[in-house]
Structures are given as structure tokens and as C-alpha cells.
């Protein structure tokens, strides 16, 4: 089966990774000069050293946020149905 198609919504260059109680708040600017914010949460506690290393790595990262193309799921289901053996 074909993989679902995704379309990029935003490409963001992270400017800052602010520590939060459960993770980080990433902020950055996209090529459209709009500021974006991403809340990244972990379900486990982070020790101070891990938090420092993750913060440093995340503050020097880029993000691409994508979503499934509209109608992609419906098309995938139709293709799968059409390939099914007919009785």
C-alpha cells in the first residue's frame, strides 16, 4: 500500500528552547517571517543534565510540521478497496 501523502505546513528555525516543567517550549521563525511556538512535553521526569543537553540540541534545530493531505485517507481506502480480490 502507498504511504499517505503529507504536505508541509511550516518550516521553522528554532531560536529558543525554553525549559518547562514537563518539557520545552520551542519558538522560532518561519520563512514567512511569522513566529511559531511548539510545546514539547515528556511523560517522564528529566534530570537536570538531560534537560540541559536536550535544551541545547533543540535550540539548534529546525522543525518541519506536516499534515496529511486533504482527502488522503479517503483516497488510500479507495485504492485498497479497489485492489481487494472480487468474489
3-state secondary structure string, the chain? CCCCCEEEEEEEEEEEEEEECCEEEEEEECCCCCEEEEEEECCCCCCHHHHHHHHHHHHCCEEEEEEECCCHHHHHHHHHHHHCCCC
Residue 4, pLDDT above cutoff 70: no
With 0.75 as the threshold, say if the pTM is over it: no
pLDDT, tens digit, for every residue of 22-47?
A: 899 999 999 889 999 999 999 999 99
Q: What would the pLDDT profile of 62-76 be if each residue is shown by its tens digit?
A: 999 998 877 656 666
Amino acid at each position: 500500500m502507498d504511504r499517505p501523502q503529507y504536505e508541509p505546513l511550516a518550516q521553522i528555525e528554532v531560536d529558543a528552547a525554553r525549559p518547562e516543567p514537563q518539557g520545552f517550549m520551542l519558538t522560532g521563525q518561519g520563512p514567512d517571517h511569522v513566529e511559531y511556538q511548539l510545546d514539547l512535553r515528556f511523560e517522564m521526569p528529566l534530570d537536570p543534565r538531560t534537560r540541559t543537553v536536550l535544551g541545547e540540541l533543540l535550540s539548534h534545530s529546525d522543525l518541519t510540521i506536516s499534515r496529511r493531505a486533504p482527502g488522503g485517507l479517503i483516497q488510500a481506502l479507495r485504492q485498497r478497496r479497489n485492489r481487494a480480490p472480487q468474489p
